[in-house]
Amino acid sequence: MDWQAQAKYFLEHETQFHLGMLPTEQPHPKTKGLAELLQQDVAAGLRMLLAIDQDVAATASRVFASEQFAQLVQVMSETLSAGGRICFSGCGATGRLSILLEACWRHYWQNGDRANQVRSIMTGGDYALVRSVENFEDYASFGRQQVKEAGLGEGDVLVAISEGGETSSVIGTIWEAHERGARTFFVFNNPAEILAEHIERSREVIESPAVVILDICSGPMGVTGSTRMQATTAELLIVGAALELALAEVDPDAADGRTPQDFAENFRELLADLAEPAAVAAMAEWVGFERDLYENKGLVTYFADSCLLDIFTDTTERAPTFMLPPFRKSDDAVSPPSWAFVKSPLLSTADAWQRVLGREPRCLAWDRDLYVELGAPAHVHENPPRLDATEIQKFPIGREDDPSRYGATANAAVLAVLAAAVAGGEDASGLLTAFAAASGPFAARAAVVIGEEAPQVGSVEPVYHIPCRIPATPLRLWERLAVKLPFNTVSTATMGCMGRVESNWMVHVETTNKKLIDRGSRLISELAGVDYETACYALHETNEELRKTAHAGQKRVSPVMLTIQKLRR
């Protein structure tokens, strides 16, 4: 089809992907003018962003008191006690969350049968942890296939997580797991009644007696549609708390008497700490540091150990959210390097992947015939994407020297650590020594330290210390949240300062799946002052123009931003 036919088809036949009625796709009234405020006063903009996380606190208190949450904990603990498996499934940010939950479990148990009782399914496999895999979320058959490969069945439980509550691939995992005899839960961030009214694939799941639903809606995102923020934070808090509580039921060493409402109170305390003047001031200085580097065409390379996966997730998600260059493979000398990257100063790339995941990478090696069987579009089965374990190892996240990270005129190595990790002992000394060696070739060095204390980090300057209380729990849930919130806030604020957010809309947006085509059309309609149909046609025309002029190594241009500019002219 030509671009006009494609636009017409999307408008007339893809209405189940027109999602403007969902709260997660709407602008938050309290962050209107966010980008402009950030450009005038970074600290004030940060406070505006941080305030929206209070929506999550209210949602968590409600959900923790619900019958459905109690049932989730009970079924998890029964499954673990009986030797079954818990599998988390998700796509994009929720896929990375699923991997994180599995890694938390594995790092607690280290080895043995218990370590294998929690598993994750990410749409596109572990490769999608590194780079978004185009179109995969649009196909329920892809999620079904990944459940088959996981071998889920009777005695197991699947917890499917979707910010929108409508992701086709995630819904596919639910149906396949159910048909194979596993118990199923569906966690999402939009009101169940709105989903059931407007989206058929969601209604079928919501109304199924075989599926327990957890509606954890906390309202619109701080930046419109950026569900990596409040939506995924709510999911991490609520599903992570359920896993912590289930662990306490099966392992006496993990039992600490915590109740669900203790988790809600701890979250409110964390938000209060991050809103304190000292924390806001540190984040504001950190934003300025990164903004200045990027504006001078520079690169940031984070070095981390225990929070490697948390930072990996944030840096990965910056690319699709703000149309930045994605992570580049070691054998790619053409594509531009990512603005931000993360490496381990202690481990080789192979060992760093083991550290990140708590296991070997679990990737897809699907061939043309399987893609045809799964109903993939022609461009996929004619040229199957390379998503196997060999490909993921090409992303050099280990201590190996990578001149591309310090070849730019402006560049910085940033040590990112929890305060407790550098408070003393041989491990701390080893990390600091390794960072000193790895950061040697870089033009600038800095450190981000998150936690209550402000320990010394050698001779590194500047140090951005974000003071906050981090309760100790067996799966270290609070460490994950304490890293996620500042990194998400700072990376979003930096992009706002640089004009990649307009008011509270992501204007630099890619359109690699149906949800993003809809989101882009709505954004164009809002900011260019045209109706949805005009916006949709204009976006498809821009996509066709970019397709015809694209070449390897070319700087990526947001078709949404380009369309807005054309219509405004």
Residue 512 is predicted with a pLDDT of 81
Q: Does a structural domain hold residue 226?
A: yes
**251 backbone dihedrals φ, ψ, rounded to 5°:** -130, 110
Q: Are 166 and 201 in contact (CB under 8 A)?
A: yes
Separation between Cα atoms, residue 520 and residue 196, nearest integer Å: 23
Sign of CA dihedral 515, 517, 522, 524: positive
**Long-range CB contacts (within 8 A, 24+) of 452-458:** 452/419, 453/419, 453/420, 453/423, 454/419, 455/419, 455/422, 455/423, 455/424, 455/428, 456/422, 457/415, 457/417, 457/422, 457/432, 458/432
Residues 236 and 223 in one domain: yes
Q: Which residues neighbour 224 within 8 Å (Cβ) at sequence distance 6 or greater?
A: 25, 26, 27, 28, 504, 505, 506, 523
Q: Are 96 and 231 in contact (CB under 8 A)?
A: no
Are 451 and 524 contained in the same domain? Answer: no
303 and 239 in a common domain: no
94 and 68 share a domain? yes
Structure tokens at 415: 């040590």
Structure tokens at 341: 């990257």
- Tokens (6 digits) for 252: 């006496």
* Range list of β-strands (E), 102-256: 118-122, 157-162, 183-188, 211-215
**Inside any domain, residue 504:** no
Q: 285 and 425: one domain?
A: yes
Q: Say how many domains are in the chain.
A: 3
Residue 379 in any domain: the answer is yes
Q: Is residue 488 part of a domain?
A: yes
Does any domain span residue 187? yes
What local confidence, expressed as pLDDT, does residue 554 receive? 67
pLDDT at res. 53: 96
Q: Among 449, 464, 499, which residue terminates a domain?
A: 499
Packed helices 54-64 and 230-250: angle between N→C axes, nearest 10 degrees: 40
Q: Report the alpha-carbon distance of residue 314 to residue 106 in Å, rounded.
A: 21
> Rounded to whole angstroms, how far apart are CA atoms 362 and 382?
24
pLDDT at res. 455: 79
Whether 500 and 558 have beta carbons less than 8 Å apart is answered as no
Say if residue 256 is in the same domain as residue 308: no
User: 343 lies in a domain?
Assistant: yes
> What's the CATH code of the domain at 356?
3.40.50
Q: Which residue carries 């706002």 as its tokens?
A: 496
Give Cα separations from 281 to 277, 288, 314, 467, 493 (angstroms).
6, 11, 21, 11, 13
Whether residue 143 is found in the same domain as residue 288: no
What one-character DSSP code corresponds to residue 128?
G
| 480 and 518 both lie in a single domain | no
d(CA 163, CA 415): 31
The full DSSP string for 347-372 is S-HHHHHHHHHSSS-------HHHHH
pLDDT of residue 424: 65
Q: What is the pLDDT of residue 38?
A: 98
pLDDT value at residue 247: 98
Same-domain check for residues 524 and 491: no
pLDDT of residue 548: 85
Q: Which CATH number does the domain housing residue 251 bear? A: 3.40.50.10490
Q: What are phi and psi of 272, to 5 degrees?
A: -65, -40
pLDDT of residue 360: 95
Q: What is the largest CA-CA distance in the chain?
A: 66
Q: Which of 499, 522, 537 lies at the terminal end of a domain, its last residue?
A: 499
Which residues neighbour 473 within 8 Å (Cβ) at sequence distance 6 or greater?
244, 256, 258
Do both 279 and 155 map to the same domain? no
Q: Could you say which DSSP state residue 345 is in? A: S
Domain that holds residue 119: 51-267
pLDDT tens per residue, the chain (569 residues)? 899 999 999 999 999 889 899 999 999 999 999 999 999 999 999 999 999 999 999 999 999 999 999 999 999 999 999 999 999 999 999 999 999 999 999 999 987 889 999 999 999 999 999 988 878 999 999 999 999 999 999 999 999 999 999 999 999 999 999 999 999 999 999 999 999 999 999 999 999 999 999 999 999 999 998 999 999 999 999 999 999 999 999 999 999 899 999 999 999 999 999 999 999 999 999 999 999 999 999 999 999 999 999 999 999 999 888 989 999 999 998 999 999 999 999 999 999 999 999 999 999 999 999 999 999 999 898 999 999 999 999 999 999 999 999 998 899 999 999 998 887 655 577 899 999 999 999 999 999 999 998 878 888 999 999 999 999 999 999 999 999 999 999 999 999 999 999 999 988 888 888 888 999 999 999 999 999 999 999 999 999 998 888 776 667 788 999 999 999 98
Q: Are residues 110 and 248 in the same domain?
A: yes
Asked, for residue 102, whether it belongs to a domain, the answer is yes
Do 477 and 536 belong to one domain?
Answer: no
Q: Is residue 206 part of a domain?
A: yes
Please identify, among 468, 499, 530, the residue that sits at the C-terminal boundary of a domain.
499
